[in-house]
Structure formats: C-alpha cells, structure tokens
Chain A
C-alpha cells in the first residue's frame, strides 16, 4: 500500500500571501489530520477531517483552514502568511480517527520570508 503523500515538499512564500498544501491519505483511510511542527513548539494539532467534515480543531487562528474531498484527500490553506507560519506541516491518516495509530506523510516545509 502506498503511504501518505504530501505536496509540495518545499515551499517559499512571502508575508501576506496564501498557500495551499495537499495530502493524499493511505487508501481506505478516512481520517486525515494536520499538524504544525516547529523547533520551539514541537508538534501541534491543527485539525482533523473525517468524511469531508471537520471533526476536531486545535488552537490556531482562523487563517488556517482545511477541507476534505470525497476521496479522502485533504487540503490545508493558510491565508495572510506571517513569518511565524514557517514550519513543517505534517499530514497523518488513519482508518477512522485520531484515537488509533496514525500514519504520517513526509511533510511540507514552508518558509515565509
């Protein structure tokens, strides 16, 4: 089975721009979660999608949003980028939710200048 894939792998943007990241989960997995990882804060939960619905949300501003499509693929959007948004954005999938083992993708490294 193919693993979780994320595109793009690297991205450079400037402050004020917006960005969309994509995640394709493992086939059959319906839960997709997004995380932000920075050296100072470590891993932080952004949100989880299941069957095209946002089921859980972390403590991030509304500039961070996401969606899930009927094939379980998910996108994450960050609007009005700030320098502090520079991070590794990780996507993880599981069969039915965050309560079980999640499988992570390689991440998208975003640099905001």
Chain B
C-alpha cells in the first residue's frame, strides 16, 4: 500500500530558530514529491515540487531535500517567522496508476515569539 508518513506530528519552536520536518514514503513507482503549506482556514499553497533527479530545491527560507533511494524527504525552514505557523503537508505522486496523489497527514508547526 502506498503510504506517506510525516514527523513530527506537531512542533513548537521559537521565532528565529531553524527546524526540519520529515516525510517518509513507500509510494512506488515514484513520480514527484511536493511540500505544501496550509494556513488555518485556507487552502494549501505549494512550496516545492521535486522529481526523482532532484536532491534539493529551495523556495526562500524553505529548502526541501529528497533521497529517492531511502524514500525520504525533509523540509528545512531557516530563521523561522511567526507567519511560518501552519500545517506542512507532504504529497507523493506515483503508484501503479501513475497519477495517484498520496498525502501525508501533515506536521503542525507553531512559531512563538
């Protein structure tokens, strides 16, 4: 069964600190992996989308890494800001049907002053 597991489930950090969120998946075959940020009461917003050949992709203070061999991805947030408080969702595209989107349940991040 194709699965996407995210950790930690929730995280609290001080403003200005860095943090790393994890995503492990079993989806096969793999097509791409995306990280979304979802603010409370809003729809998800795409941060990065990575294919098999990409190891690292950055979007401002957000840097995603992908290790397709170990089927792991991480999202690193640098110099966190209060506005980073949100849910971060990992989505892996792939599977036998090709177009299936497999969602993690998200990591809830709270950045405190």
Contact = CB atoms under 8 A, between A and B. Distances in A.
Chain B interface SS verdict (over half): strand
Interface in B85-107: 89, 91, 93, 97, 99-101, 103-106
Q: How large is the interface on B (under 10, 10 to 19, 20 to 34, 35 or more residues)?
A: 20 to 34
Contact of B43 (A44, A98, A100, A107): A107
Interface string B41-54: 11111100100000
A4 B93 CA distance: 22
Interface string A87-113: 000101000011111111111000000
A105 B42 CA distance: 8
B28 interface: no
Interface string A56-84: 10000000000000000000000000000
A11 interface: no
